[in-house]
Amino acid sequence: MTLTDQNIFDRLCIFMRETQLLQSTFSLLGWDERTGMPPEGAEYRGEQMTYLAGIIHRRRTDSQLGDWLERLIDSPLYSKPHSIEGTVIRESKRQFDRQRKLPESLVMELTRTSVQGQQDWQKARERNDFSIFMPSLKKIIHLKRQEADAIGFLECRYDALLDEYEPWETTARVKNILEDLRRELTPLLQQIAGASPVSQSHCLNKTFPIEKQKIIGREIAKTIGFDFQQGRLDTTVHPFCTELGPYDTRITTRYNEHFLPTSLFGILHEAGHAIYEQGLQKQWYGLPPGQTISLGIHESQSRIWENQIGRSRDFWTYYFPRLQNVFPKALHDVSFNAFYSAINTVTPSLIRVEADEVTYNLHILIRFELEQLLLDEHLSIADLPEAWNDKYESYLGIRPRTFTEGVLQDIHWSGGAFGYFPTYALGNLYSAQFFAKCESDLGDLSAQISAGHFDGFRHWLQEHIHQQGQCYSAGELVTLVTGEPLTHRYLVNYLRNKVSEIYAL
């Protein structure tokens, strides 16, 4: 029987959905590893995930899959690349071409090493001992160099790894973006440093019982639109969001009894990721039209809820009275303005996930530069902690005192996620540009948020961003939604307006 293009397309979709079944199982094992697995289970968990990674890789590089894609790329089904069919074919071909360059043995070894690496990182962090993590990190970086070399690149190894998280982006462009931001924000930081202090940030360092933090955190996540019928919230060392199926998206946070923002904004951030996942076209789950575009766009959705909404005057006009009710002892004598200023205080800090919006991208720049040095063999693992500390002192004027608040604060490298960090900065840029357009489109967004009405904002995001899946690249989507290419202007204007109000600049 001669197969038509439509027959082949249908077979392609079935095959890819079956592969996604395996991928979601792999993700479930990863979620359990970071939330509930006993420490002694790490070695066997590594074997489980390595075995699955091998099967998944074989399916993603199957010669039959390649034959189908070669036929479809020249078929009428691909005549409209941004259509559902065109998107399935285009993005599947892009992923196939990337995956087939990677030896199965390398994919499996990276998986095994990353599982062990995350366990070693956690132990090292708990004991404030970088030497515990060094052997795993050395092996991970060695394997990531092999991965970059296998994929190939025009200018630098980092390009090959960055493309996994932000397709079509380049190291040179990211470098220019971060340098443009630094040039714009450095004078603003100098202005703030010379202004009279107005915040009372000590109000965030009182005693906030963890059980009550869990109550308010879950409540806020539900209020902004995280669907607990399709997800859950758990505790982990480093917050993350993961999707395990079309109706199963999980988020985590961590708690600090004496610093409320740790869990508060961690939950807003991860719930933003999850709302994106929950807003995708579920009928296309496992296929490009039902998958997220890039981590930069993903980060835009977490940062837009964490910052443009979660750190806004409008949000706390609605929610601060409730927060005072939950923590009466800590907040009964704290004014709204004092709280609002405290959560928006601009001051150099050591911990990326707790950094203010103005200095945040400097944290990303530090990691971005160190990753390139490591991959290009210009920095040894043994010298990494000191190089980290030197950059913090140079860019932020502060120096970590421990490994835990320094080089061991992030989980990403232990899982092999080199090339991930720049997507946070891109997410900040995307979020500001999307938010400005949403404000223009909705007109009364400020009034809606002040009244605790988040449906209009969330539905705008779903219609313009979530439901698009991978039908457009990140750059194409920004232009489609906002009418212009990505620019740093919106983020800089947003930050200037906010801090000018708070610091009376």
Distance of CA 12 to the CA centre of its chain: 29
**DSSP bridge pairs for 248:** 245
Type of residue at 18: E
Q: Which two tokens stand for residue 237?
A: 């060392």
d(CA 367, CA 128): 20
H helix and E strand count, the chain = 21, 3
Residue for token pair 């357009």: 437
CB burial of residue 105 (10 Å; 0-12, 13-18, 19+): exposed
Q: How far does the chain reach from its first CA to its final CA, in angstroms?
A: 75
CA–CA separation, 416 and 118 (whole Å):
9
* CA distances (Å), origin 224, targets 88, 247, 263, 313, 352: 31, 18, 16, 16, 24
Torsion of CA 380, 381, 382, 385, to 10 degrees: 110
Phi, psi of 71 (to 5 degrees): -70, -45
Q: Which residues of 215-252 are buried (b: 16+ CB within 10 A; e: fewer)?
A: ebbbebbeebbbeeebbbbeebebbbbbbbbbebbbbb
Query: Is there a contact between 301 and 273 (Cβ–Cβ < 8 Å)?
Result: yes
Neighbours of 186 (CB within 10 A): 12
Tokens of 136: 């795993």
Distance CA 346, CA 343 (A): 9
Under DSSP, the state recorded for 307 is I
Please state at what angle helix 84-99 crosses helix 5-35, rounded to 10 degrees: 60
DSSP 119-130: HHHHHHHHHT-H
Q: Are 477 and 300 in contact (CB under 8 A)?
A: no
**Catalytic entry in 270, 277, 299, 357:** 270
Q: Which residue blocks in 36-166 are alpha helix, DSSP H?
A: 42-60, 63-73, 84-99, 104-127, 130-151, 157-165
Contact 351, 405 (CB under 8 A): yes
Contact, 158 vs 419, CB < 8 A? yes
**Tokens standing for residue 41:** 């289970």
412 residue type, one letter:
H
270 belongs to the catalytic site: yes
Residues catalogued as catalytic: 270
